[in-house]
Amino acid sequence: MSGEPIRSASAADDTETKGPASPEISRISIDLFAGVRVALEARLGEAPMTVEDIMALKTGAIVTLETGLADHVDLYLNDMLVARGEIVAVGGKYGVRIVELASRP
């Protein structure tokens, strides 16, 4: 598949004769993005450390986070904050219950 955009001949003709594409021509169906994979991260908290502290870590060491047990988990989609939630148990695994959605930038 080439990197060229997909256009119909009629859409190209309309753009050349009428100026910018009309909203009907430029609208993209959400179905186009349905299979696109993205990275969703649940960030529990931070632990500021020096390189020396990291190099001294051993098996069984505990790294204390600045986050408390009752604090929310931040959810990032491709490094952009999109929601906050709380940790829940789901069938023997961990999950996040969304409690707040981030506002749009």
Q: CATH number of the domain at 15, please.
A: 2.30.330.10
Q: Range of 32's domain?
A: 9-101
Determine the average pLDDT of the residues in 10-31: 58
In a domain, 51, yes or no: yes
Q: Which of 85, 89, 88 is nearest to 74 (CA)?
A: 85
**R_g over Cα of the chain:** 23
**Tens digits of residue pLDDT in 39-94:** 999 999 899 999 999 999 999 999 999 888 888 999 999 889 999 999 999 999 99
Tell whether the model's pLDDT for residue 2 goes beyond 50. no
In a domain, 68, yes or no: yes
In a domain, 89, yes or no: yes
In a domain, 1, yes or no: no
* Whether this model's pTM surpasses 0.75: no
In a domain, 75, yes or no: yes
Tell whether the model's pLDDT for residue 13 goes beyond 60. no
pLDDT band at 19 (very low <50, low <70, confident <90, very high): low
Q: What pLDDT sits at residue 104?
A: 77
Tell whether the model's pLDDT for residue 15 goes beyond 80. no
